[in-house]
Structure 1
């Protein structure tokens, strides 16, 4: 997690020009959803723009003009409108964002096959094998920014460093639309200029725990005896943060990521008290998850649901299946059973989500389904995939959903296959 605290002057300045050994690039699209929207609506450039979140949803992205008023992603839309009432609010268009993301990743793949896409709008590159062909790492970073902007029309910030952790921090401090090199011998001074919340993996609770011990900067964390960090955060987390504070990060760029989960969640236009309506939404979400599992040739061992009440209380429940699946029938059955154990408050449910977890390649699971499984069910769902691929996602759906008149205010298909 990168701290939202203001950047120090030290973090903003150039950290040198020697890129020897700095072969890791972190490429991060600036306000990506907004940048894509501005491609199609250039008349909005220079104005505060918010993507996602009508009066019921949350902010998915905000332009830098909106951020100047304190608006940020994951903020309730109602709060964002109070802070910046003049903002233009646009609905999210995940298909369009995915389209531009694929164009960007295609550009990056021309640099090196050693590329790790970590989300729709960011990726790591190890350019060690591209230096002879394309020049020094900083020259490659300049090429990446230029080509992404020229071909895809969106700005990209790039961090160049000797490790993934520092490259990611560098790209954050290069924003907007910039490039920052942190030379290998400047790694520790750079890190020690930052607030402790900048370290990868320091969330709100961890930051609060550290601050209770007077640790507010990375430099202070680095100077803290590791035994104290073990007692404060646990051995694993304390050791990891101590290593990162001293610039030690042995993680390599992984060309293929092991997918851990795929899911979707919906914020309702109005709080829902009708359990039957919630079950209908679970069915729709189960089909979305299953279709994406099959597209990725993955199966899931665990199904989880997320339920957010009208007062923002959020519950999570999960269940491990007897056998892995990529079928909506199985995902929906598990999700409905989980929902049955959740009380629906009088004020209703604000958000509902389904997630398939503990993924494994479908071809390598070696697990046989139950003896009473209906093979026609799998054939039917795969036939639906083919029809949707040819004629669109709304052409065919379960009969139960045909009379579903109510719909979400903002649907977040978090296919972060994260």
Structure 2
């Protein structure tokens, strides 16, 4: 029996902007994009009331909320605060698995403060985060990563929810099928077609039935609905790629117009690689056209690359590899096959009271 905490910062990017710029507090803001083009990366809770959310276009966001304020992304600032938050995590456990800048799993089965209650520990961690950053976080606490992540959504923002071992079976049976991790809209609708609306309905299906109708994920659903999710917290996740991309204010119609943009992107990417002492053998060029279709072109070499000039040369070669399909709204360069060691980490499993 493990004790897992999932910490999720509340509207992280937007909250950082409201923290740094007091005049934005209490107002609907969108981070990233603008009312003409681009995509919203994050929205404040004030904006979410109007239906504004991440991944929608800036045009739609402004239509939903005419008073919406757009602010630019500041990743350096978000990374700075994220690093402070992770320092807090590591004061309690070394088993920390970051999912992004604003969320992470913590295995506190054994912890550095000898606190037997994961619930009390989550409360203390959230208080520490607020004291040191003035930002709020929500938490989910349970026996595995799946349940902890589901639980962290229950009392957002600035709250927490615990699913104790004796509550797991009932909780999962009552959980709407759309709340199960990995069940998106398409899978949810397919579940509905088989009269599966809750965890209880899912639990009534055999492993054979679920595998027949849902393939390999069907076996995962069979286990999860029974509280079986054995994936450990992985504190040393291997980074697989590093990428930088730019969305343009005006669509670009010719490769000639894109060369300068690629050079700037290559310089930014090189700086990121060097900051973390990384290099890679595979360079991928990402192209998003005006109709939002995506195309990628890759090249793998013998040597590790990290300099701006080397990255730019390969990206330029990939750009001229074939004709463009349409005008281009976004270009990106990523590097993979990195020079990082493959590491595995093993979580310790012991039993304590929740």
Residue 243 of structure 2 aligns with which residue?
Answer: 263
CA-CA distance at 1:205 after TM superposition? 4.4
Residue 95 of structure 2 aligns with which residue?
Answer: 114
Distance in 2 between the 1:280 and 1:75 partners? Answer: 28
Cα deviation, 1:367-386, whole Å, max 9, x if unaligned, reads: xxxxxxxxxxxxxxxxxxxx
In structure 2, relative to structure 1, the CA distance for the partners of 1:264 and 1:215 (3 Å cut) is: farther
CA-CA distance at 1:109 after TM superposition? 1.5
Distance in 2 between the 1:58 and 1:85 partners? Answer: 16
Cα deviation, 1:211-240, whole Å, max 9, x if unaligned, reads: 4544444443333333333333333x2222
Residue 83 of structure 1 aligns with which residue?
Answer: 64
Q: 1:174 aligns with which of 148, 155, 174?
A: 155
Structure 2 SS opposite 1:267: strand
Contact map agreement 1:297 1:362 (CA 8 A) in 2: no
Residue 254 of structure 1 aligns with which residue?
Answer: 234
Distance in 2 between the 1:309 and 1:80 partners? Answer: 21
Q: TM-score, normalised by structure 1?
A: 0.75
Cα deviation, 1:348-391, whole Å, max 9, x if unaligned, reads: 11111122123332899xxxxxxxxxxxxxxxxxxxxxxxxxxx
Determine whether 1:337 maps to 2:317: yes
* 51-60 or 201-210, larger mean C-alpha shift: 201-210
In structure 2, relative to structure 1, the CA distance for the partners of 1:191 and 1:337 (3 Å cut) is: farther
Residue 293 of structure 1 aligns with which residue?
Answer: 273
Question: Counterparts of 1:50-89 in structure 2 under 5 Å?
Answer: 50-54=30-34, 55-89=36-70
Contact map agreement 1:26 1:168 (CA 8 A) in 2: yes
Residue 93 of structure 1 aligns with which residue?
Answer: 74
Question: Counterparts of 1:99-178 in structure 2 under 5 Å?
Answer: 99-130=80-111, 133-178=114-159
Question: Counterparts of 1:6-405 in structure 2 under 5 Å?
Answer: 21=1, 23-54=3-34, 55-130=36-111, 133-235=114-216, 237-346=217-326, 348-361=327-340
Cα deviation, 1:285-305, whole Å, max 9, x if unaligned, reads: 223223322322333232222
Distance in 2 between the 1:72 and 1:345 partners? Answer: 30
CA-CA distance at 1:169 after TM superposition? 1.1
Contact map agreement 1:48 1:62 (CA 8 A) in 2: yes
**Long gaps (5+) in structure 1:** 1-20, 365-418
**Long gaps (5+) in structure 2:** 344-354
Q: TM-score, normalised by structure 2?
A: 0.88
Distance in 2 between the 1:356 and 1:222 partners? Answer: 43
Cα deviation, 1:32-71, whole Å, max 9, x if unaligned, reads: 0011111112233222111111121111111111111111
In structure 2, relative to structure 1, the CA distance for the partners of 1:193 and 1:334 (3 Å cut) is: farther
Structure 2 SS opposite 1:268: strand
Distance in 1 between the 2:191 and 2:316 partners? Answer: 40
Contact map agreement 2:238 2:340 (CA 8 A) in 1: no
Distance in 1 between the 2:316 and 2:303 partners? Answer: 17
In structure 2, relative to structure 1, the CA distance for the partners of 1:220 and 1:91 (3 Å cut) is: same
Residue 380 of structure 1 aligns with which residue?
Answer: none
Distance in 2 between the 1:170 and 1:156 partners? Answer: 13
CA-CA distance at 1:263 after TM superposition? 0.7
Distance in 2 between the 1:333 and 1:223 partners? Answer: 57
Contact map agreement 2:7 2:104 (CA 8 A) in 1: yes
Distance in 1 between the 2:285 and 2:187 partners? Answer: 25
Note the aligned Cα RMSD (angstroms): 2.4
Distance in 1 between the 2:76 and 2:46 partners? Answer: 25
In structure 2, relative to structure 1, the CA distance for the partners of 1:244 and 1:70 (3 Å cut) is: same
